[in-house]
Amino acid sequence: MGRRDVEAYGLEEGGTPVELPDGVLVLTAGVDTQDNRMEYEVVGHGHFGETWGIEKGIVMGRPDDPATWAKLDEVLFNRVFRFADGLGLPVSLTFVDQAGHFSGEVRLACHDRIRKKVFAIMGSKDHNAPYTKPPKEQKIMIKEQYIGTCWMYEIGVDAGKQRIMDNLRVQTPGPNYCHFPHRDDYGSSYFAGLLSERLEYDASKKQPWVWKKIPGHERNEALDCRNYAMAAFKALPKDLDAIDRQLKAMRGQCPPVAVAKPPAVPAVPRARTKKVRSGLGKNYDDW
C-alpha cells in the first residue's frame, strides 16, 4: 500500500481540510498505551463495512500522568469532528488498551470517563476468541492498593487483524473498502505500522497460525489502534439506516453547527471506586 491509496477528503471554504467525508455515519477510536505516550486513531464507519481513516495522533506523556489524559480529553474524548457543511459527530465509543505497566491507572482513567464512552480493553490470548464479548467488571489496583472496579472489554485481536487485512485487499470503494486521507498523519510510517504483521505457520505452537511482525516493521501501533477502533464499532449497537436518516434530516432542518447524537451504548452499572475523580461534563447524559 502506497501513497496512491490515499485521497483528498475535500476542503472547506477557507481551505481547511475536511475532517469527515460524506459516507461516514459513526466514529469510533482505538488508543494504544505505551510507557511514554498514547497513540490513537479515529475511524469513520459507513454502510456495509466501508471505513475512513479520520485522524491518527500521538499524545506524549506517561499513562499515570493526569495531564496525559487531559490532553486526550481535548484531542479525542471531548472532540466533535465535522463535515464540510459544519454538521458534527463525536466519537461514539473508544477502546483503550490497558496492557503494560500502567493497567491500574488506565482502568481508573477509563472508569472516570465512562460517560464519555471510554472503556479499557484487554486482548485475548485465545486465537479463536470472538472479536468482542460483553464487558466484565474488573478490579482497579494501583501500587498494590485496591481502588475499585471498572468495566473492561476483552477482544479477539487475532480475529480483528484478519478482518483488517481482508478489508485492505478490497480495491473498489464500497463494501469493506478502507479510505485514507492524503495527510501527514497517514504517511509512510502509518502504513508501515498498519502492515507490520502477517499470519505465519509455526509448528512449535499449539495453535500453529500466529501473527508475527514482519522484519523491518518494528512499530505496530497503527495496526493496534485500527484493531481497537474496529472492535469498538463491532461492540456498538447501531442502526446505520436510522443514523443516515437523522443526518439527512439535520442537514435539512438544523443550523450548520448541529451535532448529531451518537448511537446509544449498552447501559452498564457505574463501576465502583473508593475515590471517583470524574469531572464529567453534560454532553453525554444519555448514558
Locate the DSSP E strands across the chain. Answer: 6-7, 26-33, 37-45, 51-60, 80-82, 88-90, 93-97, 118-123, 136-142, 145-155, 178-181, 197-201, 209-213
Q: Which residue has the cell 497503527?
A: 222
Instruction: Return the pLDDT at 266.
Output: 62
User: What's the total number of domains in the chain?
Assistant: 1
For the segment 269-285, the average pLDDT, to the nearest whole number, is 43
**177 in Cβ contact with 243 (< 8 Å):** no
The pTM of this model reads 0.88
pLDDT band (50, 70, 90) for residue 263 = confident
What's the chain's Rg over C-alpha atoms? 19
pLDDT at 261: 72
Backbone angles phi, psi at 259, to 5 degrees: -120, 125
Q: pLDDT per residue over 23-68, tens digit each?
A: 999 999 999 999 999 999 999 999 999 999 999 999 999 999 999 9
The answer to whether residue 258 sits within a structural domain is no
DSSP readout, 225-271? HHHHHHHHHHHS---HHHHHHHHHHHHHHS-TT-BPPPPPPPP-PPP
- pLDDT higher than threshold 70 for residue 7: yes
Bigger pLDDT: 209 vs 222: 222
Q: Report the amino acid identity of residue 273.
A: T
Note whether residue 39 is domain-resident.
yes
Structural domain boundaries, residue 237: 10-183+220-253
Cβ-based burial of 204 (10 A; exposed 0-12, middle 13-18, buried ≥19) = exposed
Write down the residue that cell numbers 488508543 correspond to.
Answer: 31
- Is 22 within the bounds of a domain? yes
Answer whether residue 190 is part of any domain. no
Query: pLDDT at position 108, please?
Result: 97
Residue 112 has pLDDT above 90, yes or no: yes
Which one, of 226, 262, 230, 246, lies nearest residue 26 by Cα? Answer: 262
Query: Is residue 286, in this structure, part of any structural domain at all?
Result: no
Phi–psi pair at 97, nearest 5 degrees: -65, 125
CATH, residue 126: 3.30.420
Is residue 285 one of the residues assigned to a domain?
A: no
Residue 27 covered by a domain: yes
Once rounded to an integer, what is the mean pLDDT over residues 99-111? 93
